[in-house]
Amino acid sequence: MHKQLKISLLFLIVVLGINTISAQNTTTITGKIVETTNGEPIEFATVLVGNPIDQKPIVGTTTLQDGSFILETTAANFYIEVSFIGFTTKRFDDPTITNGKIKLGTVVIAEDSQQLDEVVVEGEISQTVFKLDKRVFNVGADLSSTGASALEVLNNVPSVNVNIEGQISLRGSQGVQMLINGKPSVIANEQGNALGTLTADMIERIEVITNPSAKYDAEGTSGIINIVLKKEEKKGLNGAVTLNTGTPNNHSLGLSLNRRTEKFNLFSQLGFGRRTFPSDEETENRNLVDDTYISSFGQNDKNETFFNLILGTDYHINDLNVITLSGNFAYEWEKENADAIFSTFDSNNSLTDAFRRKELTEATNPKYSYELQYKKDFEGNEEQSLLLSATGNLFAKDQTSNFINTTTVGNEDDLLQQSRTDFSQAEYTFKADYTHPWAEKFTLETGAQYQINDVENDFAISNFDGVNFIDNPDLTNIFEWTQKVLGVYGTTAYESDKWGLKIGLRFEDTDVATLLQNTNVSNDKKYNNLFPSGHTSYKINDDLSLQAGYSKRIFRPRLWDLNPFYNIRNNFSISTGNADLQPEFTNSYEITSIYKLGKVSMNLGVFFRHTEDVVERIVEFQDNVSISRPENVGINNTTGVEFNAKYIPSNWLSFTNDFNYSQFTREGDFEGNSFDFKGDQWSTRLTSKFKLPADIDLEFIGNYRSGYRTLQQEITENIFMDFGARKKILKGKAIVNLSIRDVFASRIRESVTSQPEFYLRDFSQQGRFVTLGISFGFGKGEAMEFSGQKHF
C-alpha cells in the first residue's frame, strides 16, 4: 500500500510540474470571431496557434457563444489561424506581442461557397457496417456537427443504449467493456461518466464486438465497445461539474477535467457522495417432511459514503508515440443496519418460537489502481501499431458485523454473534499487442497477456459465552487464493470491400492455488486450454450485411465462488463458496444480420452456446437450515434469438427495442440425483425518447423479464419502468436532470426452491429511487449526468 501511495504522489508531482512549466513565458491571445454578412458571432470557431517552421499546431481552442476566445501559449515563434466549417480561413503571421498579450479584436470571416459545396457532397450520414468480428459505426456530419457528447453518439449506435443517467448497455445487457483507441482508459469508466468530456467531432468511429475473437481475454463479457478518436483532438480545457440530490438519501458531487495541449492530455475526476439502499426482505423455509416452517420479515438499510479521485495524462512524444499514465484512489465507508422478525410454526400452523434479529455492519474499503501504457504507431500505415501496458488494482475491506437475537416468543436464550473479515486483493495485468497489415487486405495480430490475482481473506464467526466472544473453529479461517493466467494469441484476417474472414487461436495457461491456513487444506489446479475463434462477414448491399462468428470462452470461478466464508445474516439461509469448483467452458456460435430500411435500423441474430461443467448453486436442507454453494453440474445447450431495432421517425422522437429469447436444455446430476430439464426465458426493453420545446428531453424505459428455471429454483418474472427528464439551460452549457428508477416500485427479486422434502422462498424489493441533479460544462466539456456511483 505504501509503495502505491508513493507512486500516486510521484504522479501528482509530475502533473503539477507540467502545469508549472506551462505557466512560464505565457502569451495570452484574445479576440472575437464574427461573420461578415451580418456581424453575428460565430460559436465553436477554431482558433489555432501553429509552428511556422513545420506548420504543425501547438495549441488551440474554440469560441464561446458570443464568439469570444482566450488562448495561452508558451511558444516564442508562432502564427494564429482562425477557421470555421463553411467559412474562409484567416491567418495572422508574426503577431505583435505587447506586455505578454495579443489582442486580435474583432475578426471577420466570410462564407466560402466552394467549401460549402464540398461539405454538402462529403457530409455523410452516420452509418453502421460489418468488419469481420465487429460492427463499425462511422460518425457522420449529422452527429459530428451537433456538439453532442460521446454518450449521445453512443445512443445512436444500433443495439447500444445509454439511459439518461449515462449507463451503457449492449443488446440489453450491462457490464460492457469500454475502450478508447483500443485500450482501457479511466475516461471510458462508465461509473464515472467521464465520457462527457469527449464531444462528437472528436470521434471517428465506434466499434461494437459481441462475440470477441482470440485477441481478447477468453473470459466472457457482455461485449466490447471501442471509441476511436480522430487524430485532431480539440485543444484547451474541457470539463464538467455535477451536483445530485435525491431520495432515499442520494447526494453526490462530481468534477471532471480534461486539458489538451500539443504534447499532453491531462485528465482528472473527483467524486464524493453518500447513498442509502433500503430494502424489504422476506424468507420462508418449509420442511415438507414434518410440515414445520420458519418465516422472516425485515428491513435493511445499506449506507455508503464514498470518495474517488482519478488523475492521468497522455504524453504525445511525437505523432507516432504516446505514453499514458493514470492513477485512481477511492475510499468507501459502509454502515448497514438490518432488523428482522423470525417466527417458527409447527405442523398445526401455530407459532411456537420467535425472536428479533438486529444487525450492525461497519466496513472501510480503500482501493488503489494505476496504469502505464505505451502505444507506437508506424509511419506510412495508420493500422500498424504496438501497444504495451501494465496495470495494477489493489482493494481491501475491513468489516465487522454484530448480531443480537432477542427472544419474543418461547424460552430460547438471547444470542449475541459477531462476524469479521479482513480482506485484501491485488490484481496485476501486463499486456503486449501488435497489429501488422500487409498487402492492403491482410492483417496479422499477435500478443500476450499475463494476469496475477492474489487474495487473502481472514474471516471469523464468534458466539458470546456471557463474558467474551469465542470464535467458532468450524467457521473461522484464513483463505488464500492465487490465480495466474498467461495468454498468447495470434489472428490473421483477409478483408475486401464485400467479404472478409478472420481466424485466430489463443492459448491460456492457468495456475490456481487455494489454502485454508488454520486447517491446512489446500487445493491447487493447473490447466491450459486452446481458444479458437473464427469470424466472417459479407456485405450484400449498402442496406444489408451478414456476419457469422465462433469463439470458445471460459468462466473461471471467482473469489466469492471459492471462498468458504459463511454469510450469517440469516441463520436459516446461508450461502458459501466451494474451493473445489472447476471452470466452465462455452462454445459460442452466432449469426447476425444488419438491415436498414429508411429511418429504421435492425439487427437480427441467432446463437447457439454449448457449455460444459456448468456452475449452478445447489441448496442442501437440514434442520430447517438451507445452505447454498456453487457446484459443477452437467452441460447446458442454449439456442436463442436477439433482435434490436432503432426507429427515429423525426429529430424529436426515437424508439429503441431490445428483445432476447433463449431456450435451453440441461443435462446433469449431483450426488446421484438427475437434474435434466428444459426451459426458456425471454426479455424485452423498450426505450422511448422525446425532444420537446424549450430544450426538454424525456425518456421512458420499460423492461420485462420472464420467469425462468435453474436446477432447483424458479425465478419470478419482473416488469418495471424507469423515467428520466432533463432540460438544457444557459445555451446548453448546463443541464437539470431528473431520474426516477422503478417508477411504480414493481421491481422485485424473488426465487422459489421447491424440492420433495423442502420449500424455500426468498423475496426482496428496494423500491423507488428519485434523483435530481444539475450539471455544468465548461470549455468543450459537455454537461453530463454524473450518477454518483461508487467506484468499486
pLDDT tens figures, 401-425: 999 999 999 998 899 999 999 999 8
Q: Are 576 and 565 in contact (CB under 8 A)?
A: yes
| DSSP3 helix / strand / coil % (the chain, rounded to 5) | 5, 65, 25
Indicate if 323 and 419 belong to the same structural domain.
Answer: yes
**Terminal CA-to-CA distance of the chain, rounded, Å?**
17
**What is the rounded distance in angstroms from the CA atom of residue 689 to the CA atom of residue 695?**
13
Q: If you ran DSSP here, which 8-state letter would residue 633 be given?
A: -
Give me 395's grid cell. Answer: 482493494
Would you state the pLDDT for residue 85? 63
> In sequence order, what are the beta bridge partners of 544?
541, 595
Q: What CATH number is attached to the domain comprising 626?
A: 2.40.170
Burial of 42 from C-beta contacts in 10 A (0-12 / 13-18 / 19+): buried
Give me 624's grid cell. Answer: 430447517
Indicate if 136 and 63 belong to the same structural domain.
Answer: no
Would you state the pLDDT for residue 64? 78
Would you state the pLDDT for residue 174? 59
Is position 410 within any domain?
A: yes
Residue 787, phi-psi category: left (phi > 0), alpha (psi -120 to 50), beta (remainder): alpha
Between β-strands 615-622 and 160-162, what pairing exists: parallel, antiparallel or unpaired? unpaired
Residue ranges making up the domain that contains 491: 259-778
Contacts of 89 (CB under 8 A, 6+ apart): 81, 82, 83, 109
**What is the rounded distance in angstroms from the CA atom of residue 17 to the CA atom of residue 22?**
9
Average pLDDT along the chain: 82
Would you state the pLDDT for residue 282? 95
Which of 88, 114, 140 is at the close of a domain?
A: 114
**What is the rounded distance in angstroms from the CA atom of residue 719 to the CA atom of residue 747?**
6
Contacts of 104 (CB under 8 A, 6+ apart): 29, 30, 31, 80, 92, 95
Q: Are 585 and 556 in contact (CB under 8 A)?
A: no
Report the range of poorest mean pLDDT among 23-37, 277-291, 361-375, 470-484.
23-37
Q: What are phi and psi of 410, to 5 degrees?
A: 100, -170
Which of 47, 81, 114 is at the close of a domain?
A: 114
Task: Give per-residue pLDDT as tens, 772-790.
Answer: 888 887 765 555 444 434 3
- Report how far Cα 452 is from the mean position of its chain's Cα atoms: 21
Is position 247 within any domain?
A: no
Label residue 14 by pLDDT band (50, 70, 90): very low
Is position 182 within any domain?
A: yes
Give me 489's grid cell. Answer: 494469441
> In sequence order, what are the beta bridge partners of 430?
390, 450
Q: Are 687 and 659 in contact (CB under 8 A)?
A: no
Strands (DSSP E) found in 570-695: 573-575, 584-597, 600-612, 615-622, 625-632, 635-650, 653-667, 669-670, 673-674, 677-692
Nearest alpha-carbon partner for 684 in 648, 651, 660? 660
Indicate if 232 and 275 belong to the same structural domain.
Answer: no
Label residue 513 by pLDDT band (50, 70, 90): very high
Is position 788 within any domain?
A: no
Three-class DSSP category at 386: strand
Contacts of 733 (CB under 8 A, 6+ apart): 776, 777, 778, 783
Q: If you ran DSSP here, which 8-state letter would residue 3 be given?
A: H
Nearest alpha-carbon partner for 661 in 645, 684, 680, 682? 682
Distances (CA, A) of 140 to 111, 289, 692: 22, 68, 24
**What is the rounded distance in angstroms from the CA atom of residue 715 to the CA atom of residue 702?**
19
Q: Are 506 and 214 in contact (CB under 8 A)?
A: yes
Residues of 468-489 as b/e, b for ≥16 C-beta within 10 angstroms? ebeeeeebbbebbbbbbbbbbb
Q: If you ran DSSP here, which 8-state letter would residue 731 be given?
A: T
The full 3-state SS of 476-494, as one line of letters, equals CEEEEEEEEEEEEEEEEEE
Report the range of poorest mean pLDDT among 171-175, 250-254, 409-413.
171-175
Task: Give per-residue pLDDT as tens, 346-372.
Answer: 999 999 999 999 999 999 999 888 889
Task: Give per-residue pLDDT as tens, 539-585.
Answer: 888 788 898 999 998 888 877 788 888 788 888 998 888 888 899 99
Which of 114, 146, 165 is at the close of a domain?
A: 114
**What is the rounded distance in angstroms from the CA atom of residue 130 to the CA atom of residue 601?**
14
> In sequence order, what are the beta bridge partners of 29?
71, 102
**What is the rounded distance in angstroms from the CA atom of residue 115 to the CA atom of residue 118?**
5
Q: Does the pLDDT value for residue 149 go beyond 80?
A: no
Q: Does the pLDDT value for residue 697 go beyond 80?
A: yes
Is position 212 within any domain?
A: yes
Label residue 744 by pLDDT band (50, 70, 90): very high
Q: Are 330 and 367 in contact (CB under 8 A)?
A: yes
Is position 336 within any domain?
A: yes
Indicate if 642 and 705 belong to the same structural domain.
Answer: yes
> In sequence order, what are the beta bridge partners of 34?
41, 108
Indicate if 485 and 462 belong to the same structural domain.
Answer: yes
Is position 245 within any domain?
A: no
Q: What CATH number is attached to the domain comprising 76?
A: 2.60.40.10
Q: Does the pLDDT value for residue 17 go beyond 60?
A: no
- 248: preceding bond cis by omega (within 30 degrees): yes
Between β-strands 499-516 and 477-495, what pairing exists: parallel, antiparallel or unpaired? antiparallel
**What is the rounded distance in angstroms from the CA atom of residue 615 to the CA atom of residue 156?**
36
Q: If you ran DSSP here, which 8-state letter would residue 149 be given?
A: B
Report the range of poorest mean pLDDT among 230-239, 609-618, 644-653.
230-239
Label residue 124 by pLDDT band (50, 70, 90): very low
**What is the rounded distance in angstroms from the CA atom of residue 555 to the CA atom of residue 486?**
15
Contacts of 348 (CB under 8 A, 6+ apart): none
Would you state the pLDDT for residue 222? 64
Is position 789 within any domain?
A: no
Instruction: For the beta carbon of residue 57, count every other beta carbon within 10 angstroms.
Output: 15
Indicate if 61 and 95 belong to the same structural domain.
Answer: yes
Would you state the pLDDT for residue 142? 55
Give me 479's grid cell. Answer: 483463505
Task: Give per-residue pLDDT as tens, 584-638.
Answer: 999 989 998 888 887 788 889 899 989 999 888 889 998 889 999 999 888 999 9
Indicate if 495 and 639 belong to the same structural domain.
Answer: yes
Q: Are 679 and 616 in contact (CB under 8 A)?
A: no
User: H/E element holding 22?
Assistant: helix 2-22
Would you state the pLDDT for residue 143? 59
Indicate if 129 and 106 belong to the same structural domain.
Answer: no
Indicate if 81 and 136 belong to the same structural domain.
Answer: no
Would you state the pLDDT for residue 189? 54
Indicate if 307 and 414 belong to the same structural domain.
Answer: yes
Indicate if 133 and 267 belong to the same structural domain.
Answer: no
**What is the rounded distance in angstroms from the CA atom of residue 520 to the CA atom of residue 477?**
10
Domain count, the chain: 3
Indicate if 203 and 316 belong to the same structural domain.
Answer: no
Q: What is the DSSP track for 509-560?
A: EEEEEEEETTTTEEEEEEEEEEEEEEEEEEEEETTEEEEEEEEEEEE---HH
Q: Are 729 and 737 in contact (CB under 8 A)?
A: no
**What is the rounded distance in angstroms from the CA atom of residue 417 to the CA atom of residue 408?**
18
Would you state the pLDDT for residue 779? 67
Give me 67's grid cell. Answer: 464568439
**For range 509-524, the mean pLDDT:** 92
**What is the rounded distance in angstroms from the CA atom of residue 290 to the CA atom of residue 115?**
86
Q: What CATH number is attached to the domain comprising 130?
A: 2.170.130.10
pTM of the model: 0.74
- Of residues 187 and 432, the one with the higher pLDDT is 432
